[in-house]
Amino acid sequence: MFVDSAYWHNSRIDFKDRKHPLFVGSCGTYRLMTTTKLPTHRPRGRVDFQLLYVTAGKGHFYFNGKEHIVPAGNMVLYRPREEQRYYYYGADHTEVYWVHFTGSNVTNILRRYGFRDGEHVIHTGTSLEYSHIFRQIIEELRACRPHYEESCIYRLHLLFILLSRLDEKKTRRRSPHMAGQMNTAVNYFHEHYSEPISIGDYAQSLGLSVSWFTRSFREYTGSSPAQYLISLRISAAQSLLETSDHNVSEISELVGYDNPLYFSRLFHKQTGMSPSDFRRQLQAWNEENP
C-alpha cells in the first residue's frame, strides 16, 4: 500500500480551530496495491470535517448503519462528531485522497459553495485537477514554507470553487450508461497503466468511436485519455522513486515505457525536474526531517 500524508505541526490529533473561518489540519492519499483490506471506524467521529475523494476503485461507506458503495468519481463528506465507518479492499485497487479541515465558519462556507446540509456523497467526476490540489496541500503541509497555512486554505477554497462550478443540470442529464463507461475506463487505466494501451483499440472494445470516447472522457475527467494515462504513469513513477531502490530505467519499464529517455522527458515535463533530481530532493528532505 502506498501512503503519502502530512499533518499540521506533525500532529495526528484532530482539533477544532476557532481563530480562522477555515483551516486545514491534514491531507493525504492511500493507494491499495497488495493490502487486502483497509478498515476505518471512528464511532464518535472526529472534531473536524473530512472530505475524501475516490479517484480509483471504490470505497464501502456506512451512513446511519447502511452500506453505500461509492465508486471513483465521487467525494464523501463527514462532519464533526459523525460516525465514520468505511472500508477499502485491495481487489478494487482503490485510490483515495483525503483532507481534514476545521474553522469557525466551515458550515456556512460549505453552504456557500453548494454543499447541502446532511449530504454525504458528492458526484464530482474523476479529474486530475482535484488530485493535483490534494497533492499540493500535502506538499505545503510537509515543506512548511512561509505562509504555508494560508496556501493550504487557498487550495481548499479552490477545490470548493471547482466543485461549485459543476453543472448540476448537465450532470443529471448525462446518460448513466455513458458515466458508467467512463468510470470503467478510468478504473481500467488505473489497473493497466503499466501495459501497452491503445486508446483506439480500447474505444473500439466498447463499441465507441475514438472521437466520441475522447470527447466523453474529457468531459468526465477534465483530461484526454492519453494525458490521463501519462499522469497516472508519472504519479506511479514518483511513488516508486520514493519507496523503492529501482533505478530510472527499471522504473521506466515498470510504469509502461520501454524508452528511459522518453520517460525522463515526460517526467520532466510533468514535474519540472528529472526523475533523478526528484529522488535526490526526496532523499534530502527525508534526511532533514527524520
C-alpha cell at 218: 474529457
Domain with CATH 1.10.10.60 in the chain: 174-288
CB atoms < 10 A from the CB of 154, how many?
Answer: 16
Give the three-state DSSP class for 234: helix
- What fold, for 174-288? Arc Repressor Mutant, subunit A (1.10.10)
What's the pLDDT tens digit per position in 93-127? Answer: 788 999 999 999 999 999 999 999 999 999 887 78
CB 90 within 8 A of CB 18: no
Distances (CA, A) of 79 to 52, 97, 106: 12, 17, 10
Distance CA 162, CA 42 (A): 29
Residue of higher predicted confidence among 67 and 183 = 67
CB 72 within 8 A of CB 97: no
Distance CA 274, CA 262 (A): 11
Domain with CATH 2.60.120.280 in the chain: 2-166
CB 227 within 8 A of CB 132: no
CB 73 within 8 A of CB 187: no
Domain 2-166: CATH class, spelled out = mainly beta
pLDDT of residue 169: 43
Give the three-state DSSP class for 270: helix
Distance CA 15, CA 60 (A): 26
Lowest mean pLDDT among 39-43, 93-97, 133-137, 282-286: 282-286
What's the pLDDT tens digit per position in 188-245? Answer: 888 889 999 999 999 999 889 999 999 988 887 778 899 889 988 988 888 788 778 8
Rounded mean pLDDT of 73-84? 95
**pTM for the model:** 0.72
